[in-house]
Structure 1
Amino acid sequence: MQKPWLMRGGAVALGGLVLAWMLGWIDGSLLASKYSSDPAVAELQRLSDEAIQAGVPKDDAQRQAFRQRIEGLTDAQRREFFTSSQPKFTLMMERKLNDFFALSPAEQRRELDAEIDRMEAGKSNGKGKGGGPGGAGDRGAFGGEISPEKRDEMRKRKLDATTPELRAKFETRLDMLNERRAKRGLEPMGPGRGR
């Protein structure tokens, strides 16, 4: 037989917690944080959330500043940031692709030309390291060589995070980029292209 005072006390305590949370006296971060316990990683996670809510930053200076902060992380911190941010990166990629395909053909061509110009400027500044624009080739984002097994695992994770429709849009845009690069006398970009 349960004691009525114990049940009433539990109900009052639970009701009090719910009321305190509704009044804002208990911050949701106290219950469970969506950010890392590492302050450097948490700050970048917060900044990427803000960028997504505001729309992907169009300013190259903002993107470069964010990249520099990522480069300042340790390998373990970068790994944690990229792993936790994969769904956000997928969302940003989807928005960017949808915005691109909503443009007129002339606007698409201008955007592709601007992207090619940035890629080529990055190469001449020593920023391009292989593996695509500003890429890391076989080193990966975390430094060190990437084994074929690790590369397959990373590719599978990326595939799992995207839909077939999104991958098709990405491939179509990459094909358009490479067609534009060819018209400008440049080598194609992307895995397995131009090798």
Structure 2
Amino acid sequence: MENLSRRAFLKLSGAALLAAGLTGTLTACGGGKDVEIPGTVNGIGYVSGKAGREIIGTEEYGTIHVVKVVVTLKNVSSRAVTLTADNFPAEIDHSAASPIYFGFADNASGDSWWTQKDYELQPNEEKTFVLVYRISDTAYESWFQLVHTVELTFKSGHQKVTGSYSSETGELVVGEVEKA
């Protein structure tokens, strides 16, 4: 699993997987000052992200193979925004996927996190979210032999931005903001 720094994220913005033009500009209330965070959707800006395969063991379901996606978002608006798992639909190897877990982490590593139904992101707050998507045993076993992709979409209001992760490059690249 690789972290994607803000500098590397900006550098990779011209990747062929997604359209260039990452900048979403939002005018902050009160000061009239522009705040630029790549991939800003409805006042929520994408700061960084990473993805990778893991195994989750549960008493009820036994061993579950998953992809864990960790994203850090910042609320650059003047209002609180409630986020749920519904804000993060994904495609894994071109098949739709809904998160089986959604939570928030103490830090950007996403190693220690809590499952939750929703999270109210306050103005100017930056928070790391963890999303866990189930994958097949075959996809898990072939993760480093074949190229697997995870396309994570962050939707809020009438806007969305999609990030694409490839197991070949280990990088999560975010595209431009679109209408949802």
Q: TM-score, normalised by structure 2?
A: 0.21
- Pick the structure with more strand per residue: 2
Bigger Cα Rg: 1
Higher relative contact order (CA 8 A, sep 6+): 2
Q: TM-score, normalised by structure 1?
A: 0.20
- Pick the structure with more helix per residue: 1
